[in-house]
Chains A and B, each alone.
Chain A
Amino acid sequence: MDEHSVDVETTGRNVDGEVPATEPDAVTDDATVHDDDVQLERTIGLGGGLAIGVGTMIGAGIFVFPGLAADEAGLAATLSFAIGGLIALLVALPTSELATAMPRSGGGYYFISRGMGTAYGAIVGLGLWLGLMFASAFYLVGLGHYASAVLAELGVGLPFDPVIAIGLLFGAALTALSIGGTENTAKLQNAVVGILLVVLTGFLTYGVLDAVGVFGRSSAPEEFFSRGFFPVLETAALVFTSYLGFAQVATVAGEIKKPGRNLPLAMVGSVLVVTVFYVVTIFVATSAFGADRLGEFGETAMVEVARDLLGLPGAVAILGAGLLATFSSANASILSASRAVYALSRDALLPRKASEVNLRYGTPHVALLAAGGPILVLVATGETEVLAEVASFLHLVMYGLMCVALIVLRRRNPDWYDPSFRVPGYPVVPAVGALASFALIVFMGFWSVVIGSVVMLAAYLWYRYYAADVILKGDV
């Protein structure tokens, strides 16, 4: 049996006098083992891992961004998505190595706190939690746009703009659903992702054939860099939110079966799959309309693309798919956010009460509410781009630090660090991954950077106040 221990001593107390929970004695393919006879079963297989990654990513990237991205970067938005995918891959590989060495709940937060110390961990962990909230809010606003488009398609006229109202409604419903203990959420997620991929594959195949002139229409002639080079990078920074899903896989690393094999496959695999889908989608979308008109359509541009290609049935299919996709993205992010709260309270960076499990439903109601409540506030702003960028910002900081943590761990090479997957091209890949992650931040909007920085500063101050004595760093 593949078994190795995570030899990390945690010490210290937080303001409430709580100490970090003990670290496990060993990690096997099927369980995390504490004190010899207490085990935490691993139940998520490769399919489930891929579904979390792909399901989170595909919703935002394909259904919300094409219009926004084309508006900023023209046809070259295709390149923006490719750049985003490349950076995601450069980070997914080091993340995979860290995850196979430390397959524990919390993902990036866990790796960084054990590799680089509590302060970094706190910034990243609280940042991850808040970042997931921003991401969920962004997905929910996207969902609101899609649901409004459905209403418009049905001819239902409302006296007010329903986007935010619907986003709030679904946000509240998802939180309630999670607390109420819906069974089989994972199976539902797998099915949703499967349906999505089938619909998209059919749609995109038709779209590509159409774009290259098979059906006798000439595609809109378009200059590739119609907006210049700089917007390509700005757009890459914006759409990077599309690629946050692989990190969500790491937040449930403690529940993945055969982590040494399945974690790298799920993370790298889902990044590759969605990159291909994104690039083809943007290509099809910009070919159908040209960037200018696509930009005018905004968040639901894909519906117009589908209508143009396949008529009303196409529009209906994409509307349905968009609803499902944004729904599954939001759902996965809320669940990941509650995992992040669990990891933080396990390590005494948040009160233990925050991860308390509800006796009636067996669900972590405090953590879910702590995620769901602020999400609603963020949804109410309705600022799609800022929400997406702040989420990207907070994740990019984590990604950059994960790459640094990998380099630190490899250089010190402590006894317990024994990953079963090793990143190819060390040290170039993690170094470039770190630089690219930090560099992408430079291209973000001013307010996104300000909000993201304030969140990080607040996270640091919280740590200094609440858990300054807690030491989580492994023996490096």
Chain B
Amino acid sequence: MSDRPSVLVPLRVLEGESVPEGVPDLLANAHVVLLGYHVVPEQTAPGQARMQFEDRARERLDDYETLFEDAGATVERRLVFTHEGQKTIDRTIEEHDCLAVLVPNATAAVDDVLVAVRGAVGIDRLARVVAGVFSETEASVTLYHVADDDETDEDAETLFDGMQNRLADLGMDASRVETRVERETDALDAIVDAADEFDVVVMGETDPSLSTFVFGMPSDQVADRFLGPVLVVQRESPKDTRE
């Protein structure tokens, strides 16, 4: 496979979720894993829903596949009937080794991208997504970091340097990359506020913890509050280190 980053686009295909405007162009340089899924209640065998809805769902996916392919993406697709949408999404991410998941929202032409950089961990995957999706476009990229109190500007600089080097290695034009450090107590609010000026947000997943369990993943919260599309870069799956 080429160096196209694989991006999962999950759609509740029978409940009216469709590919929003601008998204096919956004992912023109990606390998799109198009997941149409339908959640059925526990009383219903997934196979039962399949007998009835498969044809309709297939037709819709055909249309979406064409949209992405016309924009230039390579497309792989799945149609899944499930009791648990999240399990299906997680499994598809793993099986197709997706680097990122798109939270689809409509977007105009993409001029500027906000990339939330959190720490050194996962920076390689973040860079691969950013370079893969945006290096062939005209969009400008802003690396954005919300620093802790005990973090100096030099620390942030080191972080950005690492990221910029990696982007350059991957063929991204350095002149298009800017950096920005913010000091604010709530990283989440800071990202959402900053995101207002941008067309697309790229951010990493957080490790699950008690607070993500209670409040949900920060990436989900950003996606809820930001009106444009969010690319959520996935953690390396533990399976990759196995075998």
Q: Say whether A41 contacts B77, CB under 8 Å.
A: no
A185 at the binding interface (Cβ < 8 Å): yes
Known: A37-B77, A38-B50, A346-B51. A43 touches B45 (CB 8 A): no
Q: Which B residues touch A183, using CB under 8 A?
A: 41-42
9 nearest A-B residue pairs (beta carbon): A41-B82, A40-B46, A43-B83, A39-B80, A363-B43, A38-B79, A181-B41, A43-B84, A342-B48
Per the 8 Å Cβ criterion, residues 306-348 of A in contact with B are 335, 338-339, 342, 346
**A-B contacts besides A182-B43, A185-B41, A335-B43, 10 pairs, CB < 8 Å:** A32-B47, A39-B79, A41-B87, A44-B83, A252-B45, A355-B48, A361-B41, A362-B44, A364-B44, A364-B48
5 A-B residue pairs with CB within 8 Å = A43-B87, A252-B45, A335-B42, A356-B52, A368-B43
Interface size on B, residues (CB 8 A): 28
Per the 8 Å Cβ criterion, residues 375-410 of A in contact with B are none
Q: Say whether A41 contacts B52, CB under 8 Å.
A: no
Q: In angstroms, how far is the closest chain B Cβ from the Cβ of A38?
A: 5
Of B39, B40, B45, B78, most A-chain CB atoms within 10 Å: B45
How distant is the Cα of A21 from the Cα of B45 in the complex, in angstroms? 14
A97 at the binding interface (Cβ < 8 Å): no
Type the 1/0 row for B13-52, where 1 means its CB is closer than 8 Å to any CB of A. Answer: 0000000000000000000000000011111111111111
Q: Which B residues touch A335, using CB under 8 A?
A: 42-43
Q: Which B residues touch A362, using CB under 8 A?
A: 39-41, 44, 49
Q: Say whether A342 contacts B45, CB under 8 Å.
A: yes
Q: In angstroms, how far is the closest chain A Cβ from the Cβ of B11?
A: 14
B160 at the binding interface (Cβ < 8 Å): no
How distant is the Cα of A186 from the Cα of B42 in the complex, in angstroms? 7
Q: B48: which of A34, A179, A357 is its contact (CB, 8 Å)? A: A357
User: B41 — nearest CB in chain A belongs to which residue?
Assistant: A181
How distant is the Cα of A356 from the Cα of B49 in the complex, in angstroms? 8
A422 at the binding interface (Cβ < 8 Å): no
Known: A181-B43, A254-B47, A357-B40. A43 touches B79 (CB 8 A): no
Q: Say whether B41 contacts A38, CB under 8 Å.
A: no
Q: B43: which of A41, A44, A105, A364 is its contact (CB, 8 Å)? A: A364
Number of cross-chain contacts by CB at 8 Å: 97
Q: Say whether A363 contacts B79, CB under 8 Å.
A: no
Q: Say whether B44 contacts A363, CB under 8 Å.
A: yes
Q: Which B residues touch A181, using CB under 8 A?
A: 41, 43
Q: Which B residues touch A38, using CB under 8 A?
A: 50, 54, 58, 78-81
Known: A38-B54, A41-B87. A255 touches B81 (CB 8 A): no
Q: Interface residues, chain B, CB within 8 Å of chain A? A: 39-54, 58, 77-84, 87-88, 91
How distant is the Cα of A433 from the Cα of B189 in the complex, in angstroms? 65
Known: A40-B50, A41-B83. A255 touches B43 (CB 8 A): no
How distant is the Cα of A32 from the Cα of B49 in the complex, in angstroms? 14
A248 at the binding interface (Cβ < 8 Å): no
Known: A37-B77, A41-B82, A362-B41. A352 touches B51 (CB 8 A): yes
Q: Say whether A40 contacts B84, CB under 8 Å.
A: no
Q: Say whether A31 contacts B41, CB under 8 Å.
A: no
Q: Say whether B88 contacts A41, CB under 8 Å.
A: yes
How distant is the Cα of A44 from the Cα of B46 in the complex, in angstroms? 12
Known: A185-B43, A362-B41. A31 touches B80 (CB 8 A): yes
A234 at the binding interface (Cβ < 8 Å): no
Known: A38-B50, A41-B87, A43-B83. A105 touches B45 (CB 8 A): yes
Known: A39-B79, A41-B80, A362-B40. A254 touches B49 (CB 8 A): no
Known: A178-B43, A181-B41. A34 touches B83 (CB 8 A): no
Q: Which A residues touch B83, using CB under 8 A?
A: 41, 43-44, 255
A30 at the binding interface (Cβ < 8 Å): yes
Known: A31-B80, A355-B51, A356-B52. A41 touches B41 (CB 8 A): no
Q: Interface residues, chain A, CB within 8 Å of chain B? A: 21, 30-32, 34, 37-41, 43-44, 105, 178-179, 181-186, 252, 254-255, 335, 338-339, 342, 346, 352, 355-357, 361-364, 368
How distant is the Cα of A184 from the Cα of B91 in the complex, in angstroms? 21
Q: Say whether A39 contacts B81, CB under 8 Å.
A: yes
How distant is the Cα of A362 from the Cα of B53 in the complex, in angstroms? 11
Q: Which B residues touch A356, using CB under 8 A?
A: 52
Known: A37-B77, A43-B83. A346 touches B47 (CB 8 A): yes
User: B61 — nearest CB in chain A belongs to which residue?
Assistant: A37
User: A186 — nearest CB in chain B belongs to which residue?
Assistant: B42
Q: Say whether B45 contacts A41, CB under 8 Å.
A: no
Q: In angstroms, how far is the closest chain A Cβ from the Cβ of B231?
A: 24
How distant is the Cα of A31 from the Cα of B88 in the complex, in angstroms? 9
How distant is the Cα of A359 from the Cα of B34 in the complex, in angstroms? 24
Q: Which B residues touch A352, using CB under 8 A?
A: 51
Q: Which B residues touch A361, using CB under 8 A?
A: 41
Q: A40: which of B58, B81, B87, B91 is its contact (CB, 8 Å)? A: B81
Known: A40-B81, A41-B84. A254 touches B45 (CB 8 A): yes
Q: In angstroms, how far is the closest chain A Cβ from the Cβ of B69?
A: 15
Q: Which B residues touch A186, using CB under 8 A?
A: 42
Q: Say whether A41 contacts B50, CB under 8 Å.
A: no
How distant is the Cα of A39 from the Cα of B82 in the complex, in angstroms? 8
How distant is the Cα of A21 from the Cα of B87 in the complex, in angstroms? 26
User: B85 — nearest CB in chain A belongs to which residue?
Assistant: A41
User: B88 — nearest CB in chain A belongs to which residue?
Assistant: A41
How distant is the Cα of A39 from the Cα of B84 in the complex, in angstroms? 13
Q: Which A residues touch B50, using CB under 8 A?
A: 34, 38, 40
